[in-house]
Structure 1
């Protein structure tokens, strides 16, 4: 599975809208920010469809993975966006990392822990931001925000690059930087 996928999940009180760009997205944040509510809503929609009172819009099927039978359940999930809530210890295992690597799914993992076995991008770690509460019966709108940098390297002024590699490393930086930056090789 490749590409960016927009997801909208809502009920009469809460609405989440976000895009998934890579195969692993991590959601972090404090308690009571709506992380588990998001996963619960997707689980409820998966089990009961429109009868759940939840609206879910996505080009790919959204599923929840949890529990001791995760391997068996995951083997039945293909071409899906899979949500995993905190407390599922299998997420930290080497077996899970291998399963993710060999799968065609995208994963949205809610966790406060580091995921040492999984190769995820620092740019795909998000928190949930609440942008307004009106009353208990009115909708609360949630959006994801990037926790780690929207680094704009266009504002960065590099004056020198030093490389000890006189072959491919030097050739790479020389081709990328051209005449804009002085590049010197040291032996």
Structure 2
């Protein structure tokens, strides 16, 4: 399943309207914000149809997954948008993550917890609010909003950069940081970033964390709270380092530009558990047999040649002041 899908769920009192474009969308938030009501309305429509007084508008079937037979039900669903409430304990199980990975469905999961077994994007974590669009009627209009701001103010020059992993992205940022007299360290994985930040004693240093936004969702709650509380920590969360290269137009490829503009139209959810994997394969395929041949595990030195380095850096400078 791929593409962007608009979903409208409504009755004579409530109107939910939102779009999803990835295999995993998370809806968080406090009680009494309408999350469970949304699930109930979809369930009622599935059971009673038009007699429920509920209308659902979507180009894909919407269904609720729940109960003890969830494995069997999920294995028999294809091309659906599947809604799951947090009361279902199976969303925390590794078996669920494996079935999601092999599925060609989209999943909308309502939970206040962080699901560390799933690699979901920081861009697809939402809350619900009543927009007031119909404030002069009896109907309440519910919309989704991003819980975490997608564009933090990174205008200050960092004293230290912490990169999520030890692959090509780290090698690139380490080389740039050395030129700018900035300390650059690897966290050795996204799950270790928070612990590394906790160990830092100096709160006067300006620190920039660079991580793949395409899969950092489960870690965002702790990272964002720390960045707000301390004030000296900024988060730069592009889709991935490969996305940075592809969007920099270093390769001067029209197809790449079209894909970067609307990646949801090209990324098949059953084939790519995370968008980061798609962008890695795209870059590897597009540079195969060229002087820019890309490997995730070790940076091709060509990317650090002055011209190439600066083309990529120009794209990054929109977010980080090196």
TM-score, normalized by length of structure 1?
Answer: 0.85
**Alpha-carbon shift at residue 175 of structure 1 (Å):** 2.7
Q: What is the alpha-carbon distance in structure 2 between the residues aligned to residue 134 and residue 158 of structure 1?
A: 44
CA separation of 1:172/1:23 partners in 2, compared to 1, >3 Å: closer, same or farther?
farther
Shift of 1:10: 0.3
- The separation in 1 between residues aligned to 2:174 and 2:302, in whole angstroms, is 9
Task: Report the structure, 1 or 2, having the larger strand content.
Answer: 1
Cα deviation, residue 178, structure 1: 2.3
Q: Which has the higher helix share?
A: 2
CA distance in 1, matches of 2:27, 2:312: 41
Counterpart in the other structure of 2:15: 15
Q: For the residues of structure 2 that align with 1:90 and 1:180, how far apart are their CA atoms?
A: 43
Q: CA deviation at 1:171?
A: 0.9
Corresponding residue for residue 178 of structure 1: 311
TM-score (norm 2): 0.50
The answer as to 2:111 corresponding to 1:111 is yes
Q: Quick check: 1:168 aligned with 2:300? A: yes
* Alpha-carbon distance, 1:177 to partner: 3.3
- Runs ≥4 residues deviating over 4 A: 155-161, 164-167
Partner SS for 1:178: helix
Q: Report the count of equivalent residues.
A: 179
Whole-angstrom CA distance in 1 between matches of 2:116 and 2:95: 13
| Whole-angstrom distance in 1 between the partners of 2:16 and 2:84 | 16
5+ long unaligned stretches in structure 1: 182-187
The whole-number CA distance in structure 1 between the counterparts of 2:50 and 2:309 is 52
- Measured in 2, the distance between the counterparts of 1:123 and 1:12 equals 31
* 1:49–1:176 distance in 2 versus 1, CA, 3 Å: farther
Does the alignment pair 1:49 with 2:49?
yes
**Structure 1 77/170 Cα, relative in aligned 2: closer, same or farther at 3 Å?**
same
Sort the Cα spacing of 1:118 and 1:166 in 2 relative to 1 into closer, same or farther, 3 A.
closer
Q: How does 1:17-166 map to 2 (within 5 A)?
A: 17-132=17-132, 138-151=138-151, 161-163=173-175
Higher RCO (CA < 8 A, seq sep 6+): 1
